[in-house]
Amino acid sequence: MHKLRDALLIVGATMRLTRFITQDDLGAMWVKDPIDRWMHSKPARLEAVDHRYLAGLECPHCVGTWVGFAVLATTLATRRTRLAGPWRFVMAGLTLNTVSVVAGDAVKYWD
């Protein structure tokens, strides 16, 4: 049962963090804007590479892959430590937000 619970929490947390980076204003402020500033402060010869990185931050599939790896790694790293409970709590909160937004969208609650 714990494996199923953890799998669902990992999926929900990954979904929420991916949306945070790719869609949310706070994600733009905390993730995209600093990367954008850093990319544009580099020499012009790197400009083509810059656009690929910035475009990648718009892609939920691209971002979700790396966010998923990070959530999995954090889950495994904290599994047998005193941080397991707090990390599970964070994942539960992220998952709750994901489920509530999806449910709200389904019933047009936000309209």
Block means of pLDDT (10 residues each) for the chain, length 111 residues? 88 95 90 80 62 77 93 95 96 96 91 82
Length of the chain: 111
62 in any annotated domain: yes
Q: How many domains in the chain?
A: 1
Of the candidates 78, 91, 77, 90, the one whose C-alpha atom is nearest the C-alpha of residue 8 is: 91
39 in any annotated domain: yes
Per-residue three-class SS string for 17-63: HHHHHHCCHHHHHHHHHHHHHHHHCCCHHHHHHHHHHHHHCCCHHHH
7 in any annotated domain: yes
Q: How far apart (Å, rounded) are the C-alpha atoms in residues 27 and 18? A: 9
- What's residue 97's pLDDT? 95
65 in any annotated domain: yes
- Containing structural domain, residue 64: 2-106
111 in any annotated domain: no
